[in-house]
Structure 1
Amino acid sequence: MDNSSRIRLTVGWITLFLMGTDLFVVSPLLPFISQEYHITSAEAGWMVTVFAITYAVSAPFFGWISDKKGRRYFIILGLFLFVLANILTGLAPSFSWLIGSRILAGLSVASITPLIYAIIGDVAPSDRRGAWLSIVVSGHLMALWAGAPVGALLEHLLGWRFVFLAMALMGAILVVINFKTWESIPRIPSGRKVIKGNMARILGSVSVTTIWAISMYALYVYLGAALYSLNKFTTSEVSLAVTFFGIGAVMGSLTSGQMTDRFGESVISKVTLALLSIVLIVLGVFFSSGGWIYLILFLWALVGYAGFTSYQARLAADFQEHRGTAFAWNNTALYIGITLGSIIGSYVVANWGYSLLPFISSGAAAISFVMSTHKLSISSRLEEVK
């Protein structure tokens, strides 16, 4: 790997780490934000909701326009909006102002995250695309267990507003760095007519990600509460469990890239989805196994995020001329799946308790495996309906 390749991967990794931190850091800050504005934690949670909705709605537009006009300027535009959004969040005099700033943040991240995936897919050697994508995906996942705790520490030392102002400063630095990093990347244009012809295939393919997200987040959203209820875990033990999960997620992403390049995107994505269903059954059976739960959570994340990363590589290979559109819709599918997963998880917990969640998630993983195996026929049917 030459120096320019290392620079591109490093810049992509750091940029996605910052985007992930902006998303994941809000959760530990909610109690302090709700206290300052004299609102409930549930009301403060709308910061996450409006961010996610804005992201899911706007990402496909940025993916489509980047396929036509190029990715670099839309990444830079997104970073400018990111800086502005976090400054507004850090200085917000009222909660309504804060909500508006998070809508702008969702818009900014929607024009950055999928386009970083796409541009890495564009510049990566064909025999190393899986490894390159796995590296930048690990940056986003690293924020889950590294960026968020660092943000919480900064809140303790300097207050929650400083966290967002610090991210604005980092975003401003990345504007310059990304502008220079991607200036020599040629635009890969695609025509409107071709996009129309591939739209059904893209939607059929990314639907696999929606079901995968349900399999992961129907349980993960309630993981802390489940560990407390079923295992009587303390706060520190729950934090340790989440750390094991986070390490597994990063390692799964990184190792899947190597396996994808060796055995192929299709093979690894199918194998990992099948293994995910099995591991979730094991997790359900041994959920109250004491110390063994840490290892099983690690394996769950390892297999689960290996599946996500390998499927990203599969999309990059399947939609070479429309990677921006495919990755953008895949990210929208991801957020839809996370939302549906939290709703399904809430219903299961309310009616049957936490112990059933791993088995429900396993069923969703099995469905995603079947959809992945037959996604070509699914896409063909969508094409016929269209």
Structure 2
Amino acid sequence: MKGQGRLSLSVGWITLFLMGTDLFVVSPLLPFISQAYKISSATAGWMVTVFAITYAISAPFFGWLSDKKGRRSFITLGLLLFAASNILTACAPSFLWLIVSRILAGFSVASITPLIYAIIGDIAPPSRRGTWLSIVVSGHLTALWAGTPLGTLLEHFLGWRSVFIVMAILGVILIFVNFKAWKSVPSNELTTNLLKGNLARILGSVSVTAIWAISMYTLYIYLGAALHFNNGFSSAEIALTVTFYGIGAVLGSLSSGQLTDKFGERKISINTLIVLTLILLCLGVFFSSGDWLYFFMFIWALVGYAGFTSYQARLAVEYPLERGIVMAWNNTALYIGITLGSMLGGYVISNWGYSTLPYACSIAAVLSFIISTQKRKLLKEKTTFISR
């Protein structure tokens, strides 16, 4: 890997680590925020909700614009808005202003995260695209088990507002870093409608990610409650379980890059869904079996995020001209899947209890596999038709 490649990956990794920290750190800070504004934790949770909704709605728009106008300017402007929104979060005089700040944060991250994925797909050597994408994805996932604890530690010493001030300062620094790092990346000068005749196909492609997200988050969202009420886990044991999951997610993302480059995007993305289904079934069987749970949590995240990273590489190959908007739609699909997983998890818990959550996730994994396989068949038929 040449020096420019290392620089691009380092900038992408650090930027996505900061974006992931901004997303994941809010949850453990909610009790302190609710005390500061004298509101309930449930009301404070709207900070996460408005962020996710704004991101899901605006990401495809920024992806579409970046495909036509270039990605560098939107990433740097997004980082400027990111810094401003985090300063407003830290200084918000009322809860209403706090909500406004998280809406602005949702816009900013929507103009950064999918475009980083797209720009890495643009500049990566074709034979190394899977590896390059896996590296930057690992930055976002590292925030789950590293960025969030660091933010929580900062809150302990300086208060919750200091977390957002630090992220704003880092955002300002990254404005200049990203502006320089992507200087040599050419803009897309196409003026045609990149979505013409492709929207239905794109939506079908990203639906695989939406259902995959259900298979990963239906259980994960309720994991703490499930481990506490179903297994009697202490806070330390829950934290250890999440650590095993987080490490598995990062290693899965990193390892999938090399496997994808060696065996191909389609083969890895499809086969990991088969293994994911089996792992979830095993997780259901061993969910209340003590130490075995740590092992299967690790393997679940390892396989699941290996599949996610390889599928991102697959989309980058299948949509070379529409890469920005496809990555944006894929991230929107991810958030939609997380929302649906939350709703499904609540329904499953109400009717059958926590221990059935892994089985519900396995059904979603099967559905994702079926759609991904059918997508492959349709692509083969289209390729055959064009060659004729």
> Which interval holds the TM-score relative to the shorter structure?
over 0.9
Other-structure match for 1:63: 63
Matched, 1:368 2:377: no
| Deviation at residue 190 of structure 1 after TM alignment | 3.7
Other-structure match for 1:170: 170
Per-residue Cα deviation, 1:311-358 (whole angstroms, up to 9, x for no partner): 000000000011001000000000000000000000110111001100
| Deviation at residue 194 of structure 1 after TM alignment | 3.6
Other-structure match for 1:206: 206
> CA separation in 2, counterparts of 1:233 and 1:338?
24
> CA separation in 2, counterparts of 1:190 and 1:277?
41
| Deviation at residue 66 of structure 1 after TM alignment | 0.2
Other-structure match for 2:14: 14
> CA separation in 2, counterparts of 1:346 and 1:152?
27
Alpha carbons 2:194, 2:321 under 8 Å: kept: no
Q: Which amino acid aligns with 1:347?
A: Y
> CA separation in 2, counterparts of 1:163 and 1:142?
17
> CA separation in 1, counterparts of 2:60 and 2:372?
21
Matched, 1:126 2:123: no
The 3-state SS of whatever aligns with 2:101 is: helix
Other-structure match for 1:30: 30
> CA separation in 1, counterparts of 2:302 and 2:60?
28
Q: Which amino acid aligns with 2:112?
A: I
Mapping of 1:301-316 within 5 angstroms? 301-316=301-316
Q: Which amino acid aligns with 2:48?
A: V
Alpha carbons 1:17, 1:142 under 8 Å: kept: yes
| Deviation at residue 231 of structure 1 after TM alignment | 1.6
Other-structure match for 2:384: none
Other-structure match for 1:183: 183
The 3-state SS of whatever aligns with 2:198 is: helix
Per-residue Cα deviation, 1:235-277 (whole angstroms, up to 9, x for no partner): 0000000000000000000000000000000000001011111
Alpha carbons 1:189, 1:321 under 8 Å: kept: no
Mapping of 1:148-167 within 5 angstroms? 148-167=148-167
> CA separation in 1, counterparts of 2:43 and 2:379?
40
> CA separation in 1, counterparts of 2:292 and 2:193?
54
Alpha carbons 1:190, 1:322 under 8 Å: kept: no
Q: Which amino acid aligns with 1:222?
A: Y
Q: Which amino acid aligns with 2:113?
A: T
Other-structure match for 2:386: none
Other-structure match for 2:87: 87
Alpha carbons 1:134, 1:256 under 8 Å: kept: yes
The 3-state SS of whatever aligns with 1:197 is: coil
TM-score (structure 1 length as normaliser): 0.97
Q: Specify whether residues 380 and 207 from structure 1 end up closer, same or farther in structure 2 by C-alpha distance, changes over 3 A only.
A: farther
Using the TM superposition, name which of 228-237 and 113-122 deviates more.
228-237
Other-structure match for 2:279: 279
| Deviation at residue 146 of structure 1 after TM alignment | 0.6
Other-structure match for 2:136: 136
Alpha carbons 1:70, 1:187 under 8 Å: kept: yes
> CA separation in 2, counterparts of 1:190 and 1:87?
37
| Deviation at residue 195 of structure 1 after TM alignment | 1.9
Other-structure match for 1:109: 109
> CA separation in 1, counterparts of 2:121 and 2:379?
22
> CA separation in 2, counterparts of 1:190 and 1:321?
9
> CA separation in 2, counterparts of 1:140 and 1:24?
10
Other-structure match for 2:290: 290
Q: Which amino acid aligns with 2:362?
A: S
The 3-state SS of whatever aligns with 1:195 is: coil
The 3-state SS of whatever aligns with 1:16 is: helix
Mapping of 1:329-348 within 5 angstroms? 329-348=329-348
Other-structure match for 2:385: none
The 3-state SS of whatever aligns with 2:31 is: helix
Q: Which amino acid aligns with 1:200?
A: A
Alpha carbons 1:213, 1:334 under 8 Å: kept: yes
TM-score (structure 2 length as normaliser): 0.97
| Deviation at residue 193 of structure 1 after TM alignment | 3.2
| Deviation at residue 188 of structure 1 after TM alignment | 2.7
Other-structure match for 2:72: 72
> CA separation in 2, counterparts of 1:355 and 1:195?
43
Q: Which amino acid aligns with 2:122?
A: D
> CA separation in 2, counterparts of 1:191 and 1:227?
53
> CA separation in 1, counterparts of 2:168 and 2:353?
41
Flag structure 1 segments of 5+ consecutive residues without an equivalent: 382-386
Matched, 1:259 2:273: no
| Deviation at residue 380 of structure 1 after TM alignment | 11
